[in-house]
Amino acid sequence: MYQLYIANKNYSSWSMRPWLVLKAFDLPFKEIMLPFPAERNTGTFKQDVLAINPNGKVPVLIDQDVVLWDSLAICEYLAEQHPQQALWPTERKLRAHARCISAEMHSGFTHLRSDCGMNIQANLSEVGQRLWQQNAQLRQEVERIESIWAQRPHAQGFLCGAFCIADAFYAPVVMRLLSYGLPLSASAQQYVETMRQHAAVQQWMDAALQEQAWVNYLEPYRPVKTPKDQS
């Protein structure tokens, strides 16, 4: 059985991608959570990940004697191992499109990624409004994401029709857009809803909402909870 090492579901956008692919395609795996430390460079997270992966990051997939890191490499491996399932679309042109938009996500959208870190529990719509007004590059990136989503074959469907790796790559984007309440067209809102209704996405979100951990260096916007706030 595969072993997938991930970090906190609330924060770890890269972990979410292969986890969703494994769940969505019903591929049996054991999940191993290595939580981020509360403060940067503390705790055992880094040494625990380095013990299995020289890159020192999650996600990591272990398949017997094969160790894979990097979400895209993991998803490509899974697609290769399960050719009978359409992890990538079966149609050649659609598959090429799915690969391009996944790679575009993997290597791009730096403003969205750095300014709007994934934080499923948080309602950061006020922060989102401010960022939206101040950051033209963020607006351009969201515009590009909307145009990618608008190319999906059916308004109520996924990026290439049925759920595939490309959707798993855009799932954390959906989480960010929700937390930061960034303005979206009706078509993009429909895609957000389609994603939210996917059983695997729901499972990930539910688990993220249950988490108690507060990772200080991934919380640039929410005020730290004081004992008084919690009472």
Ligand X SMILES: N[C@@H](CCC(=O)N[C@@H](CS)C(=O)NCC(=O)O)C(=O)O
Task: Tell me which residues touch ligand X (CB under 6 A).
Answer: 7, 12-15, 46, 56-59, 70-72
Tokens coding 155 = 């308004």
Query: Phi and psi for 63 in degrees, rounded to 5?
Result: -125, 95
Shortest Cβ distance from residue 230 to ligand X (Å)?
A: 27
Which is nearer to ligand X, 15 or 179 (by Cβ)? 15
**CA 32 – CA 18 distance, rounded (Å):** 13
Nearer to ligand X, 47 or 231 (CB): 47
Q: Which is nearer to ligand X, 74 or 188 (CB)?
A: 74
The CB-of-196 to ligand X minimum distance in angstroms stands at: 21
Q: Which residue is nearest to ligand X (CB)?
A: 57
Q: How far is the CB of 118 from ligand X (least distance, A)?
A: 8
For residues 128 and 27, what is the distance between their CA atoms, to the nearest angstrom? 36
Query: Least distance (Å) from ligand X to the CB of residue 46?
Result: 6
Kindly tell me which of 58 and 112 has the beta carbon lying closer to ligand X.
58
Please, what is the minimum distance in Å from the beta carbon of residue 52 to ligand X? 12
| 231 CA to centre of own chain | 32
In the complex with ligand X, the residue whose CB is nearer, 51 or 150, is 51
Residue 68: helix, strand or coil by DSSP?
A: strand
Find out whether 85 and 165 touch, Cβ atoms under 8 Å.
no
Q: Give which of 1, 31, 221 is closest to 126, Cα–Cα.
A: 221
Closer by beta carbon to ligand X, 106 or else 222: 106
Least distance (Å) from ligand X to the CB of residue 95? Answer: 20
Of 89, 88, 94, 138, nearest to 112 by C-alpha is: 138
Torsion-angle region of residue 56: left (phi > 0), alpha (psi -120 to 50) or beta?
left
